[in-house]
Chain A
Amino acid sequence: MPELLSVKNLKIEATSYPPGEPPKVVTLVEGVSFDVQKGKVLGLIGESGAGKSTIGLSALAYGRGGARITGGEVLLNGRDILKLDRSGINTVRGAHVCYVAQSAAAAFNPAHKLGDQVIEASLRHGLMSREEAKKRALYLFRVLGLPNPETFGDRYPHQVSGGQLQRAMTAMALCPNPELIVFDEPTTALDVTTQIDVLAAIKHAIEETHTAALYITHDLAVVAQISDDIMVLRHGKTVEYGTTKQVIEAPKEDYTRALVSVRQAKRDEATDQSGTLLKIERVHAGYANGFKVLHDVSMHLPKGQTLAIVGESGSGKSTLARVITGLLPPSEGRITFDGKELPKALKGRTNDELRRVQMIYQMADTAMNPRQTVRDIIGRPLSFYFSMHGAKKTERVKELLDQIEMGPRFLDRYPAELSGGQKQRVAIARALAAKPELILCDEPTSALDPLVAEGILNLLLRLQEETAVSYVFITHDIAIVRAIADSVAVMHRGRLVRFGPKSKVLSPPFDDYTDLLLKSVPEMEIGWLEKVLKTRRMESAGN
């Protein structure tokens, strides 16, 4: 069988303009080669900066933001599309190869109806008449499971939900009957329960239409469900390239092995339920404009243990953290810390009460003052709470840096000079500096690459063993819950759905929402998607 797409020895460069320095050329991708056969799916996987999107766009001979393809060949049906002129490339783009972006919300033009945008490429390339194109769009809307497919195309992008937009984008890519579609992290921005629907819709649609695809993602478990082959990338180079079965079940490279096993960690829960540190009782909270976010939420956390609060966006889990810190005083209910009721508002709390509860944020970038050095960032709680100064303070900062496995050479660095994982570690050190009894972790790993995230989780676990600190860990990721939690609270639309020890919460019998949530988390197992869909279909048939 001839190759549909054959990429040979690809090299992509870009010019970067660091402030205050002469521009320099950086290599984004080097020596990457792969083939895609008709109707097959190749998964491109890697961390941020691995060059996977850049490679995907090269199939459309497109360089984003100043990236230039400077070497190699991109053969589409044996013809090198890099050698085509502008009008030649335009006959390929949108007709033979189509693109699905990560953020459909930004990629759709807000000024036009969805239907018009979906059929535009087919019409402009003269592939079908308006009637035919509309018919095909309708068919695709149905295949992708969009609501009211007949009238869906009459709506504007802002009138439909994020998951629907992502499916509409897939319809837009499939409409001209292309031979190849490039999916660029199409489900990354979605909630897990939405992600699985979109994933299933995409898989179903490309199978139905026999379209080949490049599927780009950072999530190996997702790509395992949809691709025939997988290429693992790192720093713009190929790490491993093989069939999905081989890469998932028998990875050859250490890096791939680490990626495969990254989400497998599990921990037994602590059984000791005595000595409650934090108790949340019947808390209601809302914003000044009258919008109520939390309804009657109660939970508690024993000393030295970890409580994971799980939920999707809009579940109120971050709001609960704001309530605990005092940033958002609850309208009803009370919060008890170490046997004493905490004043509701931040202003009413003493410095010692503030010291005992510290917080770690999702975005370490914005959580640290970019104009302060690591020394200042970690040192401030020391001088603020413990009046530590001079050499003593420096000594302690160095100790803390050792504790987060970073060392004294980072003392005078600014946050901008640190990697994402290092920043999060400094944020942890800042929290530790206050010698807290409770640390609130608001999705501290979700912006990080999987291996880096695992390092942070292990660090948090080790610190808990060393200092007996308790964590409230807010997350949307069930795998993290399995890895670190002692007790679990599941939240949905501002209400507590389920609370208890991890072993109880994560085992049947389930309520509907927890069931849906647990089944939506992709697992590193080929055929998992089909299995879940089968049980789901049975459920909907039973309803």
Chain B
Amino acid sequence: MESGPITGPVLTDGTAGETHPRPADLSGVPATPNPAAGTGAIGGTFWRRFVFRRPLAALVLQRLGLSVGLLFAVSLMIFGGIEALPGDFATTYLGQSATPQAVENIRKDLGLDRPWSERYLNWLGGAVQGDFGTSWASKNSVSEQIGNRLGNSLFLAFFAALISVPLAVGLGMLAVQFRNRMPDKIINVISLAAISLPEFFIGYLLIMFFAVKWGVATFPATVYDSMSFIERLSAIALPVATLVLVVLAHMMRMTRAAILNVMSSAYVETAELKGLGMFRIIARHAAPNAVAPVINVIALNLAYLVVGVVVVEVVFVYPGMGQYMVDAVTVRDMPVVQACGLIFAAFYIFLNMAADILAILANPRLRHPR
């Protein structure tokens, strides 16, 4: 277990690890996973029949529904949970020395005098349509601000993923190829060190050398609308490199573990004892079974990337969502904080769901039911 991305949310129904005493199968066939388990209250004969006929579709639908429910619960938490915490926004907003009258005015101004359930429904209704209200600090529309910055953040994350995914998978395979020999050990030690480096340290290290000492990259990584695509790319070179380094070690270690697991399986031994060549064994026997765990690894790390951009954007003064949120947190601009929190959580949940669904789709037992 690493400390980072693998500890993402579990979107399972929680049956994993529970001790359902499963009756031994009469014929000694491995028992198929019961797709109906955990559908819980949804019940109903139609659903049951659907689960029986199309277990795969049912499982995927179930995961989708679960994610929507989770997102809803998260919105409740981000909004309602905060209400429950001690501290009054108006007081914080004005400072401890404010007169009661001023506090009262501000409460009215911000709409804090209405009951929270009403405000929550308003907020959620707006959020679904893409309207997150107005910022307390700048009085601008939050959605407008986020629109631009979200694009910038995704731009950054996309290029980081584009570079890190093939690199991580490649290095992971290399490590497997040279398992327990020098290249593997070197990769292991370096990656262990890399997962211990804080993002900002990597960022400043890169700035120190590439921007300041050698002058081959630009800092700060400002982007604006009139920039050409190439200019943008050169501006984000260092932040992308930082993100890649942050996520690479994790992804590579997990890829290595996933491939190693498949390579040590009995069916790969069978393939070897059939006298097949190494390439054929990997391409035909290992790869189809390694795809699911590796995709899972990638999705989990992309979810981690979403969080990684926050710090990297602050380091590089990059006008993205992360920086926007951190700024809002320091001035306690709640509408912005809540909007950013919800969007980040939505990406995180979506990517974890994607990982789950891809794992289901790649499972031959579920793809070809008996």
> Which of A's residues lie within 8 Å of B, judged by CB?
60, 62, 64, 87, 89-95, 98-99, 101, 103, 105-112, 120-121, 124-125, 156, 158-163, 189-191, 194, 287-289, 291, 293, 313-314, 318-319, 328, 493
Contacts and interface: CB of A to CB of B under 8 A. Distances in A.
A121 to B, nearest CB: 4
**By CB atoms of chain B within 10 A, which of A103, A112, A190 has the most?**
A112
B332 to A, nearest CB: 50
Contact of A107 (B25, B26, B266, B289): B266
B370 A158 contact: yes
A162 B27 contact: yes
B69 interface: no
A226 to B, nearest CB: 21
A110 B290 CA distance: 12
B187 to A, nearest CB: 21
A111 B364 contact: yes
B139 to A, nearest CB: 58
Chain B's interface size range is 20 to 34
8 contacts: A62-B272, A93-B273, A103-B266, A109-B267, A109-B271, A124-B280, A158-B370, A194-B28
Nearest to A190: B28
A492 to B, nearest CB: 10
**By CB atoms of chain B within 10 A, which of A121, A160, A288 has the most?**
A121
Interface in B275-299: 275-277, 280, 284-285, 288-289
Nearest to A159: B370
A101 B268 CA distance: 12
B25 A160 contact: no
Contact of B23 (A101, A105, A111, A293): A293
Nearest to A92: B275
B27 A110 contact: no
Contact of A161 (B29, B270, B274): B29
B104 interface: no
Contacts of B26: 313-314, 493
Contacts of B27: 161-163, 194
B265 interface: yes
B20 interface: yes
A162 B28 contact: yes
Contacts of A60: 273
A98 B274 CA distance: 7
Contacts of A314: 23-26
A89 B275 contact: yes
Contacts of A95: 275
B17 interface: no
A536 B25 CA distance: 25
Interface in B15-61: 20-21, 23-30, 32
B269 interface: yes
Contacts of A293: 23
B274 A93 contact: yes
Nearest to A165: B29
A398 B48 CA distance: 60
A163 B28 CA distance: 8
Given A95-B275, A124-B274, A158 B23 contact: no
Contacts of A112: 284, 288
B275 A62 contact: no
Contacts of A110: 267, 289, 364-365
A64 B269 contact: yes
Contacts of B275: 89-95, 121, 124-125
Given A107-B269, A109-B288, 4 more contacts: A109-B289, A112-B288, A120-B276, A313-B28
B368 A159 contact: yes
A90 B276 contact: yes
Contacts of B265: 106
Interface string B344-370: 000000000000000000001100101
Contacts of B277: 87, 90
B107 to A, nearest CB: 52
B276 A124 contact: yes
Interface in B240-273: 265-267, 269-273
B267 A106 contact: yes
Interface string B82-98: 00000000000000000
Contact of A158 (B32, B266, B289): B32
**By CB atoms of chain A within 10 A, which of B23, B272, B280, B365 has the most?**
B23
A289 B36 CA distance: 12
Contacts of B273: 60, 62, 93-94, 98-99
Nearest to A317: B24
B28 A108 contact: no
Interface in B282-326: 284-285, 288-289
Contacts of B272: 62, 93
B21 A111 contact: no
A319 B21 CA distance: 10
B165 to A, nearest CB: 22
Contact of A162 (B29, B289, B368): B29
Nearest to B31: A158
